[in-house]
Amino acid sequence: MAPRKKDDILNATLELLAEKGYEGLTIEGVAERSGVNKTTIYRWWPSKATLLGAALIEARALDFEVPDTGSLRGDLQALIGGTARLLTTPPACDIAVAALGAAVGNPDLAGATRAFFADRYAREAPVFERARARGEIGEHVDPMLVMDLLAGAVWLRVVFRGLPLDESFTGDAVRVVLGGVAAEPGARRG
């Protein structure tokens, strides 16, 4: 398949997901919007779930650049800032929320969603490799746990609690995860 036609199909998939949700997303609708025959789509993606999985990973609507600010703190703030923009800026926010909601009740889509997050984690891994090389974190640090804590905080705040993110949120979240919340040993309350 020609790369441009593939992009048209994947982008149409995400556009329709954002507009109509997973239940309203159809292969026929994607075919119509992208200007291809639905048999072409079925040849490459045997189901709506596999098509959406490919679109989540490969389409540019949810793409991001891996930051390299020179510090772990800066890189994490940039990554979490990108997650915040993704969840607050249409159409990306509509795509992300619709895909997550649909994945809950659909095992095929849940697998595609796991593939999406695995792809994102693989892209974020260099941030932690560089931080280890600079001596900012030890070998014992679990990068996936760090990203789950930070990205999870954004998801919870925006999607589930419906609260806005103020300017300080990403910096505060990164500071808490990197530094912890416990008082220093010997510190007194005053």
- What is the Cα Rg of the chain in Å? 19
190 within domain boundaries: no
Domains: count for the chain: 2
Q: How far apart are CA 163 and CA 151, in angstroms?
A: 15
Q: What is the mean pLDDT of residues 80-108?
A: 86
Q: What is the pLDDT of residue 154?
A: 93
User: Model confidence at 96, in pLDDT bands (50, 70, 90)?
Assistant: confident
Residue 88 has pLDDT above 60, yes or no: yes
Residue 150 has pLDDT above 80, yes or no: yes
Residue 130 has pLDDT above 60, yes or no: yes
Is the Cα dihedral 6, 12, 18, 24 positive or negative? negative
For 123-126, the CB contacts below 8 A with 24+ separation are 123/64, 123/66, 124/66, 124/79, 126/66, 126/68
Residue 138 has pLDDT above 70, yes or no: yes
Q: What is the DSSP letter of 157?
A: I
Residue 28 has pLDDT above 70, yes or no: yes
CB 75 within 8 A of CB 125: no
Question: Can you give the residue range of the structural domain that contains 132?
Answer: 64-179
189 within domain boundaries: no
Shared domain for 40 and 94, answered yes or no, is no
187 within domain boundaries: no
